[in-house]
């Protein structure tokens, strides 16, 4: 059966906040089925519980920021992408600062910590949001469309004038293995002049070559170079995986994005939820799951669930 999961053991993850430069600690605690992912700000005189859902997105200019009752948690996308890759549906996340630690700028350290703690299967089936009709969103030269698919797939295109990036495309069928191998290590990136400007206005205090790919006029200035030839577009897919987890359930559909970012991702998630005639909730029962396992075909489970819907 395709069941919900949580963390097996509590763990702590500490690191520098990208913008604050402060040392921040996440404490991850197992949660019961149906809880979802909930952040708890614990550093202020008052606290706030902030579910990881799109209705709590309050800013998307530099990162995806969640907020509630006047408190916020920033830069959640890499962490949420890691949870999706590990199949974590339910989790309590205590955080003692305003942003998730940047670590090395990718999702890989989060996945390593989660795997070390282990995951636990819960006795509740996982629900999926399955796209039934194409849906699209266009703003200027940026666009996202989603078409029906028996799997979650992302195809992403980016285009920059800088020769170090230029035009890149990557397509990935989302599985834990594919994400961990091909996407998770891809780091966030930025241009040196942008980083210098952010620091001049009190942001990016924790930014360094240890947690981002930085580009100047000549190209990538990190001594070790890139982890992938097309690391930039792979990181855009990483961000999208985290942002689309704010649907509140895994999605079955093929995302096609061009020059999109956190803002357009969040708007598309809102548009999906606002158009329920374009999608359906699928839940796999024991018989469907057992038959799919016997045939070694997850697609069979999706087809059978569609026929019952």
Give 32-82 pLDDT, tens digit per residue.
Answer: 999 999 999 988 777 899 999 999 999 999 999 999 999 999 999 999 999
- The model carries a pTM of 0.93
- Residue showing tokens 């990483």: 238
- HSE value, Cβ hemisphere, 13 Å, CA-based, for 214: 17
Catalytic residues: 262
Across the range 275-294, mean pLDDT stands at: 75
Sketch the domain layout of the chain as residue ranges.
3-124, 128-283
Query: Is the Cα torsion angle 173, 235, 15, 53 positive or negative in sign?
Result: negative
Closest CA to 32 of 54, 4, 53: 4
Q: What kind of fold does domain 3-124 have according to CATH?
A: Ribosomal Protein S5; domain 2 (3.30.230)
Q: What Rg value do the Cα atoms of the chain yield, rounded?
A: 19
Closest-CA residue to 4 (of 156, 159, 123):
123
Superfamily designation of domain 128-283? lpxc deacetylase, domain 2 (3.30.1700.10)
Q: What is the pLDDT of residue 44?
A: 72
Q: Please give the Cα distance from 175 to 172 (Å, whole number).
A: 9
120-138 burial, b at 16+ Cβ within 10 Å, e below that, comes to eebebbbbbbbbbeebebe
Residue among 70, 27, 13 at smallest CA distance from 45: 70
């Amino acid at each position: 059966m395709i069941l919900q999961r949580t963390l097996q053991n509590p763990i702590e993850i500490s690191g520098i906040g990208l913008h604050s430069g402060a040392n921040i600690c996440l404490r991850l605690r197992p949660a019961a089925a149906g809880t979802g992912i909930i952040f708890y700000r614990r550093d202020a005189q008052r606290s706030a519980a902030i579910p990881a859902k799109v209705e709590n997105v309050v800013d998307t200019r530099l990162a995806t920021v969640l907020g509630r009752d006047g408190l916020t948690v920033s830069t959640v996308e890499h962490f949420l992408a890691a949870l999706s890759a590990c199949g974590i549906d339910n989790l309590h996340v205590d955080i003692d600062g305003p942003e998730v630690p940047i670590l090395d700028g990718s999702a890989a350290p989060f996945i390593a910590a989660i795997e070390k703690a282990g995951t636990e299967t819960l006795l509740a089936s996982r629900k999926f949001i399955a796209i039934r009709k194409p849906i699209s969103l266009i703003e200027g030269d940026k666009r996202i469309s989603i078409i029906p698919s028996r799997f979650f797939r992302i195809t992403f295109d980016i285009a920059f004038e800088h020769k170090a990036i230029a035009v890149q495309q990557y397509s990935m069928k989302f599985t834990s293995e594919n994400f961990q191998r091909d996407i998770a290590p891809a780091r966030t990136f930025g241009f040196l002049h942008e980083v210098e400007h952010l620091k001049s206005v009190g942001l990016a205090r924790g930014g360094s070559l240890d947690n981002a790919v930085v580009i100047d006029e000549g190209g990538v200035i990190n001594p070790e170079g890139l982890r992938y030839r097309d690391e930039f577009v792979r990181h855009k897919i990483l961000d999208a995986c985290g942002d689309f987890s704010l649907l509140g359930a895994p999605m079955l559909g093929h995302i096609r994005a061009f020059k999109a970012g956190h803002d357009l991702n969040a708007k598309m998630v809102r548009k999906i939820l606002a158009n329920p005639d374009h999608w359906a909730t699928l839940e796999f029962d024991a018989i469907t799951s057992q038959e799919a396992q016997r045939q070694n075909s997850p697609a069979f489970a999706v087809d059978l669930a569609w026929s019952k819907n």
